[in-house]
Structure 1
Amino acid sequence: MDRLNELKHGLEETWHSLGEGWRQVLDRASGALTRFTPSGRDKREEIPPPAAGSASAEFPSSSWALLAGDLYEDADKFVVRLEVPGLDKQDLDIEVRGDVLVVRGEKRYEQESSSGHYRIRQCAFGRFHRSIPLPLPVLANKTAAHYRNGVLRIELPKAEHARGRRIEVRTG
């Protein structure tokens, strides 16, 4: 009977661990999940359908993808980093609307070759936009963005009234 209880306890712990892992994945990915919509600009950019009988034929290419990002804060500014590989800087549009940073872009499909077919297709292509809520007001006119090695880095200086001020307590 002890062995059965140990097995039951082990299964409960495993189930709890799996559930917690999925909750963490969902929490982390929920903000990063981004919808890509077809651009429809150029026939050359259309993504070919998967080959008949291939594994990917059962799972059509998704128009959703993860754009991983970080929001860092120090005393004077927020820094947003987004991983957006495969873009040129002219494919990006950045805007601050009130307390939200909006990043739009377009990832274009480029044909590797004219022969062959996909077996796995996980990359998303098309237009996307990502909205990132900012915890405090920022100076939109002093925002700076840099794009290097597939990482977009945006620095948003905090508004003066949002920075706060340390007040020293004096005696006497």
Structure 2
Amino acid sequence: MEKLTELKHSLEETWHSLGDDWRHLRERASGALTRFTPLAKNNKAPATTSTAAEFPSANWALLAGDLFEDNDKFVVRLEVPGLDKQDLDIEVRSDMLIVRGEKRYEQESSSGQYRIRQCAFGSFHRSIPLTAPVLADKATASYRNGVLRIELPKTEQASGRRLEVRGD
């Protein structure tokens, strides 16, 4: 009977641990999970009516990012591989950073087939809340090796503007 009690206790601990780990993963991924809206065929990405064999891409993907803050500024880094800097649109508001983009589908080959398709294509946007107002006129953005870096100096007053992305 003692062995059965030990086994039950061990299973309960394992179950709680899995639950805690799953909750932690869900919390970490919730901000990075981004919806990609498919584009029309004339924009080199199929619309939502395409068949799975034609274009079985995901509609959701993770755009991992970091938000660093010190006394003077915020620094946001977003991993957005496969884009050109002109595919990105950045808007700064008093308490929000909004990054929009468009990832276009490129056909690998006219023969053969994909066995796994996990990449998402289409337009997307991410809204990143800021805990303090920023100087939108002094904000800068750069894109290099698939990483978008945005630096936002802090201020006491709120303002907003669009940013131009610099890059290689």
What interval of TM-score do these two structures reach, taking the shorter chain for normalisation? 0.7 to 0.9
2:27 aligned with 1:31: no
Q: Structure 2 vs 1, CA of residues 25 and 10 (structure 1 numbering), >3 Å: closer, same or farther? A: same
TM-score by length of 2: 0.86
- Mapped to 2, the partners of 1:43 and 1:145 lie a distance apart of 26
Q: Which residue of 1 aligns with 2:6?
A: 6
Could you say what secondary structure the match of 1:128 adopts? strand
RMSD: 2.1
- Mapped to 2, the partners of 1:101 and 1:161 lie a distance apart of 16
2:18 aligned with 1:22: no
TM-score by length of 1: 0.84
Query: Unaligned regions of 5+ residues in structure 1, if any?
Result: 163-172
Q: Which residue of 2 aligns with 1:64?
A: 60
Larger helix proportion, structure 1 or 2? 1
- Mapped to 2, the partners of 1:150 and 1:109 lie a distance apart of 16
Which of the pair has more CA radius of gyration? 1
2:133 aligned with 1:142: no
**How far did 1:41 drift?**
5.5
**Number of residue pairs aligned between Structure 1 and Structure 2:** 156
- Mapped to 2, the partners of 1:51 and 1:34 lie a distance apart of 23
Q: What amino acid does structure 1 have at the position aligned with 2:121?
A: F
- Mapped to 2, the partners of 1:24 and 1:44 lie a distance apart of 37
Q: What amino acid does structure 2 have at the position aligned with 1:21?
A: D
Q: What amino acid does structure 1 have at the position aligned with 2:92?
A: V
Q: Which residue of 2 aligns with 1:85?
A: 81
Q: Structure 2 vs 1, CA of residues 43 and 69 (structure 1 numbering), >3 Å: closer, same or farther? A: closer
Q: Which residue of 1 aligns with 2:161?
A: none
Query: Unaligned regions of 5+ residues in structure 2, if any?
Result: 159-168
Q: Which residue of 2 aligns with 1:106?
A: 102
Percentage identity across paired residues of the two chains: 74
- Mapped to 2, the partners of 1:50 and 1:41 lie a distance apart of 15
Q: What amino acid does structure 1 have at the position aligned with 2:28?
A: R
- Mapped to 2, the partners of 1:43 and 1:117 lie a distance apart of 22
